[in-house]
Amino acid sequence: MADLFQEIKSKLQGANISIVLPEGTDERVIEAAGKLQAEGIIKPIVIGASKGLSEYITMIDPATYEEMDELVQALVERRQGKVTEEQARELLKDENYFGTMLVYTKRAHGLVSGAAHTTAETVRPALQIIKTKPGISKTSGAFVMVKDDLRYVFADCAITIAPTSEDLAEIAVESAKTAASFGINPKVAMLSFSTKGSAKSDETEKVVKATELAKQMAPDMIIEGELQFDASIVPAIAAKKAPGAIVQGDANVFVFPSLEAGNIGYKITERLGGFEAIGPILQGLNAPVNDLSRGCSAEDVYKLAYITAAQALE
């Protein structure tokens, strides 16, 4: 774990990446901001009236922000007639909307929220304002699973409940990019309860189609499907079940066929396998916005700030 964050910190040295922390009244956020500021690698921007913050930390109070009129106009333009100037001004009283607009207008590089807000309250402004990348229809949530020198990416474990083949293909491509940003040479397994036609159903055919679509989207990506989990991770089983597969038990990016499977899978790996789950990391957005659990610690805030900064650097 320490090695992963040392790699991230080394990459970020001198990059001057700024991360918005909108929940400036939360003690966990204040503690994380102080630690980030002390290290001097990431510049935290804290929103709200905060006690206990160092005078050297950038703190913004939306009520007195001098460039509020510029943000209001930018939000009106971005929402393309869906909000009036008055409505935009009201929305920007919300720290997540305000923070998201700082990212959208390039006053900051990324945002971490969710310590005191729901996932919807964090993600909604990002989807409305930052939006997904060209060619990406939906955002998805990945976890980097870390244990000693092992690193894997699991997706989607947080956002898309019942992904279509098209959704799964997008998730695969974005998950491979996430893996690469954390020093993983991506080998993608499209998971199913079937390996290369051992069973046939609508569910397995969805994964087969997704694999073909992902290959079209990213021809250079190493990807195989459909695969059962054992065939994706154990070379001896891959040799028996999928002897001609390009992934031979050495997958490190796992795309689950549903949110149900992904969420259960990462939690089993975390609780029984002893892995640390870093995330969820939101994928597919034009700029990084990431969501904390409301049960998070100050250390979680601190770590996700670094993950978000690494995304911004990519």
Q: Rounded to whole angstroms, how far apart are CA atoms 53 and 146?
A: 32
For residues 48 and 153, membership in a common domain is answered with no
130, 259 Cβ separation under 8 angstroms: no
Residues 42 and 151 in one domain: no
Peptide linkage before 69 cis (omega within 30 of 0)? no
- Residue partners of 292: CB distance under 8 A and separation at least 6: 112, 113, 114, 115, 122, 300, 301, 304
Q: Which CATH number fits the domain that encloses residue 121? A: 3.40.50.10950
Q: Are residues 32 and 150 in the same domain?
A: no
Between CA 143 and CA 140 the distance in angstroms is: 10
What is the radius of gyration, based on Cα positions, of the chain? 20
Same domain as 120, residue 2: yes
Angle at 131 between CA 127 and CA 135, to 5 degrees: 125
**233 φ/ψ angles, rounded to the nearest 5 degrees:** -125, -15
What's the average pLDDT block by block, 10 residues per block, for the chain (314 residues)? 78 93 92 93 87 76 92 93 90 94 96 89 92 90 92 93 95 94 92 92 95 96 94 95 93 97 95 90 92 87 92 86
Q: Which residues contact 62 (CB under 8 A, 6 or more apart)?
A: 47, 48, 68, 92, 93, 95, 98
- Name residue 192's amino acid: S
Domain check: are 280 and 145 in the same one?
A: yes
pLDDT at 42: 95
Give the residue numbers spanning the domain of 150: 134-284
